[in-house]
Amino acid sequence: MAKRIYLDHAATTPLDPRVRRAMEPFLAATFGNPSSLHREGREARHAVENARGEVARLLGAEPSEILFTGNGSEADNLALLGALGAANGGHVITSAIEHPAVLETCRHMERFGTEVTHLPANADGLVEPRSLVAAIRPTTRLVSVMAANNVTGVLQPVAELAQLAKEHGALFHTDAVQAFGKIPMEVGKIPVDLISVSAHKLHGPKGVGALYVRKGVEILPIVHGGGQERGLRSATENVAGIVGLGEACRLAGEEMSSEAARLVGLREQILNGVTSAIPNVYIIGHPYRRLPGHLCLGFAGQEGESITLLLALDEAGVAVSSGSACSASHADKPSYVLQAMGLDPIRARGSLRVTLGRFNTEEDVGRFLEILPRAAAKMRPVATHPAFSAGLKEGEGDERNGPD
């Protein structure tokens, strides 16, 4: 049986064997509670602080500015709810293309009196700084815009947005779960106050994340208890997971530059091969301002067949994702991200997300380029597809940068 090809790294990444080896002692012999004063506890505490240093190093931050959380979603919740504290009201700005961890938290805050403005995205999937200028007010307390979108892979202008927020006296948070460890993010160069990250997106373990809190920024906890993590995230620390996150950060820091160049090469190889073999394919989102290993593809006139295509690829040994939702239970619904970019409901339901990672090879890409055109050819013919009756014009979708 041929090896399966995993091209869904935006969903999760396989655990790097080096990360697993670093974690193993803390799953067995070194089992102490980091809050205990005896030797076993001190060993666990030492491991947690070493990992904190590695996360900080990758961000160019101080270790004291890193808080460990249970995952990226919790880090987002802590950033937004913690920054607003117990006070209700005020104004928060986010974007229409954020991860549900941010959007649902904002919806929760609205129930308690906070006013929320959602910035639009343009046809390339970018949140434009001028939209923030138009939306910001004297009462704006927090701006939250992600570093890279999980559906399109498009990199947002975080530095410019953060600077605008700072000039208007608002805090700036970015959900960097997709971007962290893949592109440089140095807090000394961008005036970001809060950054959410997750281990399992950079070949670390599931169930652990972190929040960067710039020195001087005050937040309140959302989990109360024994006072761990400076009283801002109570609960006995997941020592093995934290060690895994630290090791994943160390490896990312060492290999980021060469790995990014390699993934861009593989990504462009896929894009060139797909556009040559499948005439109606188009790229969704900015053509090059995107994560190194991330592609979001549409198939003009065949968007309604995307789930069929995904399942056919799975049967052929290729794991990819629909771009329509973060959850498989919503895979048949239009993507709110793509609709926010101006795609109609048919197109917003029909993208294919192909995301590369550390262990993908040129052989994987070659096999994928053999399998995908055959699978796409079995979808309903473009000429008879109902998308055309919904307004798709002949020839649309032929450009590499996708529909207008």
Predicted confidence (pLDDT) per residue in 320-363, tens digit: 998 654 555 566 688 999 999 999 888 888 899 999 999 999 99
**Which range, of 20-29, 312-321, 329-338, averages the lowest pLDDT?**
329-338
Q: Which residue ranges make up each domain of the chain?
A: 5-11+256-390, 17-252
Over range 356-384, report the average pLDDT.
Answer: 88
- Please name the residue that has the structure tokens 């208007």: 168
Active site residue 326: yes
Q: To the nearest whole number, what is the mean pLDDT of the chain?
A: 91
Q: State the catalytic residue, choosing from 106, 249, 296, 326.
A: 326
pLDDT digits (tens, 9 = 90+) for 222-257: 999 999 999 899 999 999 999 999 999 999 999 999
CATH of 17-252, one of 3.40.640.10, 3.40.50.300, 3.20.190.10, 3.30.70.330: 3.40.640.10
Which residues contact residue 373 at a Cβ distance below 8 angstroms, ignoring those fewer than 6 apart?
Answer: 274, 277, 278
Q: Tell me the Cα Rg of the chain.
A: 22
Q: In percent, how much of the chain has pLDDT > 70?
A: 91
CB 232 within 8 A of CB 221: yes
Which residues contact residue 370 at a Cβ distance below 8 angstroms, ignoring those fewer than 6 apart?
Answer: none
- pLDDT, position 2: 80
Which residues contact residue 181 at a Cβ distance below 8 angstroms, ignoring those fewer than 6 apart?
Answer: 58, 197, 201, 202, 248, 249, 252, 256
The domain defined by 5-11+256-390 folds into Aspartate Aminotransferase, domain 1 (3.90.1150)
Question: Residue 96, Cβ neighbours under 10 Å: how many?
Answer: 16
The whole-model pTM stands at: 0.92
- pLDDT, position 209: 98
